[in-house]
Amino acid sequence: MSENQTETKLSAARTKLILDKPFLGALVLRLPMQEADPAWCTTVATDARNFYYNADYINALEPAHVQFVLAHEALHCALSHFARRQHRDQKRWDVACDLAVNSLLINDGLKPPPGALHDIGFDGMTAEEIYPSIHDEFDEPMDKHVYDDVQQEQGKSKQGKGGEATNGPSQQPQEEQQEVSPNYESSLQAQGGLAQQPKPLSPDERETLSTQWQQRLAGAAQIAQQAGKMGGAMARLIDHLLQPRLPWRNLLAHYISSIARDDYSYARPSTRRGDPAVYPSLRSAQINVTVILDISGSILDEDMQEFLAEIDAIKAQMRARIVLHACDVVLSEEGPWLYEPWEEVKLPCQFAAGGGTNFIPAFQWVGEQDTPPDLLVYFTDAEGEFPSLEPSFPVLWLVKGKAAVPWGIRIQLN
């Protein structure tokens, strides 16, 4: 098959995605296609900027397979896999990313090519959730992730200070290297117009591209939703990814602090000041916070301990009175527990894991109290039955997982 026929095959697959899967199609459009040198690209690859392909590999695939590999590379970028590895082993991380992406695409109706990694046991899980379960039984990913190539970085470390290699063939002088490839674009093309393997991303490039791809992700989701062609699993994942990425502790402290200071006093100050005017001032009154723990079984004791320790640390900065209760499908018989501002908030007992989650009993109990709380904080996975009506007091959901809430402020536990 000629070069033009290969490009036509890729363009047809991209057009098919735009028509049938507008979310994926919009993302694929953001990756310019580059034919790569087969010496480094045996199938397909991405560096979060371009889609690289081996022409022989593309020519051997069915049209449906080509759609899959295009969407596969685009999702790696849209999910910011290039910026999320952190301390993790690269090979295991690459496998986890492929398992996460392929599961989404297969469940969305796309046909995987031979060699695509898939395990039904990982359906609905993120790469971070899959990673701990990765062992040697998994093969290599079908594609090459060149945005984060450890081997390439290790090769650079063998060079001396003057830019010359400590072993192997001699390199070009440093000045000549800068003149030949002063930037990313000029280093793409090899002899014959084939793309060379790009350099791994720098930390600044990762951060910039991650922001760009998050914006593209949100835009593509909007296009697909307007067209009515957004699958349920894909929509839930996108909602999860577009949640605020600030640390949950900062968000929790900020919100509780805003509640604590949202009250003014017009009490007359001491007459010693000599000013007869009365000005409003923020008063440091005690606030009443109700905390509900979901003990249905999906929330671990370690998670509760960490959460309550953070509540206790925040409480120490203000006069906060904490009323703690626990609930799965019914309220805990041992609760509630009261903690005055000077008392340490801690897990009162070891809770037996429940079978399900129902938020209605907790809200009914709060509504029956003489005075509503200034704030209710619910620590949960948000997988349960909600009350049909939003209460009059503010509700803060601290959520472990991807589930949505019908009202209140949702903070992602990350």
Among residues 18, 394, 6, the alpha carbon closest in space to that of 229 is found at 18
Per residue in 211-226, pLDDT (tens digit) is 889 888 888 887 777 7
pLDDT at 329: 86
Position 247 scores a pLDDT of: 60
Position 240 scores a pLDDT of: 59
Ordered domains of the chain (ranges, CATH): 3-158+186-241 (no CATH), 248-262+282-412 (3.40.50.410)
- pLDDT category at 185 given cuts 50, 70, 90 is very low
Asked if the model's pLDDT at residue 113 lies above 80, the reply is yes
Identify the weakest region by mean pLDDT among 85-89, 186-190, 301-305.
186-190
* 248 vs 71, higher pLDDT: 71
Question: pLDDT grade, residue 177 (50/70/90)?
Answer: very low
pLDDT for position 232? 64
pLDDT in the model for residue 14: 94
Provide the percentage of residues in the chain whose pLDDT is more than 90: 29
The mean pLDDT of 326-353, rounded to a whole number, is 82
pLDDT at 235: 66
On whether the CB atoms of residues 325 and 359 are closer than 8 A, the answer is: no
pLDDT band at residue 183 under the 50/70/90 scheme: very low
Per cent of the chain over pLDDT 70 is 73
- Mean pLDDT along residues 129-154: 75
**pTM score:** 0.56
Chain mean pLDDT for the chain: 78
Pick the range with the lowest mean pLDDT from 34-43, 172-181, 224-233, 261-270: 172-181
- Can you tell me the mean pLDDT for 321-336? 87
Residue 283, pLDDT score: 46
Statement: residue 269 has pLDDT above 60 = no
With a cut of 80, say whether residue 367 has pLDDT above it.
yes
| pLDDT score, position 165 | 37
Label residue 135 exposed, middle or buried (CB < 10 Å: 0-12, 13-18, 19+): exposed
b/e per residue 169-202 (b: at least 16 CB within 10 A): eeeeeeeeeeeeeeeeeebbeeeeebbbbbbbbe
Mean pLDDT of 374-395: 89
Least confident of 76-85, 97-106, 323-332, 341-350: 341-350
Lowest average pLDDT, out of 68-77, 289-298, 358-367, goes to: 289-298
Q: What is the pLDDT of residue 304?
A: 77
